């Protein structure tokens, strides 16, 4: 990856993104993390070749619909440590994206557009306020890692058992009361983290997971 396709503006105290950034439409990587950004121009949709976009550690309460135009975004989308509570429906068009980080935001409901990201391999959604997950989570057929630490989840949907590629699930610090036995149907599960969960009577089938090589932390 050549220097003229990567723009790293990490921690430059920008406040707003300069217009000339949006003119660099051949960029593959754009890093705007830690710049006290409170908004993002619709011009971001011009960056049609981007494969990685880092908007973490800002003050964004929303992202523009035009973000969904970045259909070549395939490697990383960092939106962690912002003030987001929803995502535009257009983000469902990011069907090449493999890594999404939405940790440390203000989500109370799981954003449905994520469930259209069929190539998503790793989803980080820690430190939010999710109280439930949708059945449509099962559409994430490529998902290998699901990180949900420190939310408000009391249970998981039974359809989680359809995520045949899932290797890791982090549920630490959730007030879980129920785990679906469909978790035993996950053929590649290697790690299930249930530490800091004090509300759950651990089901007997956890031993079956352990017997086949899955590490269960509790």
Which residues neighbour 141 within 8 Å (Cβ) at sequence distance 6 or greater?
A: 118, 162, 163, 164, 165
> Could you tell me the residue ranges of all domains in the chain?
3-129
Structural fold of domain 3-129: 3.80.10
pTM of the complete model: 0.97
Through-space distance between the first and last CA atoms of the chain, rounded to whole angstroms: 43
Whether the Cβ atoms of residue 1 and residue 8 lie closer than 8 Å to each other: no
Query: Following DSSP, what letter does each residue of 140-184 receive, concatenated?
Result: -TT--EEE--SS--S---GGGGG-TT--EEE-TT-------GGGG
Beta sheet of 122-124, edge-to-edge order: 6-8, 29-31, 52-54, 76-78, 99-101, 122-124, 145-147, 168-170, 191-193, 215-217
Residue-wise pLDDT tens for the chain (218 aa)? 777 899 999 999 999 999 999 999 999 999 999 999 999 999 999 999 999 999 999 999 999 999 999 999 999 999 999 999 999 999 999 999 999 999 999 999 999 999 999 999 999 999 999 999 999 999 999 999 999 999 999 999 999 999 999 999 999 999 999 999 999 999 999 999 999 999 999 999 999 999 999 999 99
């Amino acid at each position: 990856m050549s220097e003229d396709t990567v723009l790293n503006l990490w921690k430059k105290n920008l406040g707003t993104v300069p217009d000339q950034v949006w003119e660099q439409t051949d960029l593959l990587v754009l890093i705007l993390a830690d710049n006290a950004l409170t908004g993002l121009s619709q011009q971001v949709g011009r960056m049609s070749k981007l494969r990685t976009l880092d908007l973490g550690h800002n003050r964004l309460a929303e992202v523009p619909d035009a973000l969904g135009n970045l259909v070549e975004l395939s490697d990383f989308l960092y939106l962690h440590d912002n003030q987001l509570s929803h995502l535009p429906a257009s983000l469902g068009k990011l069907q090449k994206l493999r890594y999404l980080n939405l940790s440390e935001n203000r989500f109370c409901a799981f954003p449905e557009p994520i469930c259209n990201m069929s190539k998503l391999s790793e989803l980080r959604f820690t430190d939010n306020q999710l109280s439930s997950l949708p059945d449509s989570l099962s559409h994430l057929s490529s998902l290998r890692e699901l990180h949900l630490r420190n939310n408000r989840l009391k249970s998981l949907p039974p359809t989680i058992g359809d995520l045949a590629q899932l290797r890791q699930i982090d549920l630490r610090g959730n007030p879980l009361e129920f785990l679906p036995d469909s978790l035993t149907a996950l053929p590649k599960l290697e790690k299930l983290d249930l530490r800091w969960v004090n509300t759950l009577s651990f089901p007997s089938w956890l031993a079956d997971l352990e017997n086949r090589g899955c590490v269960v932390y509790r």
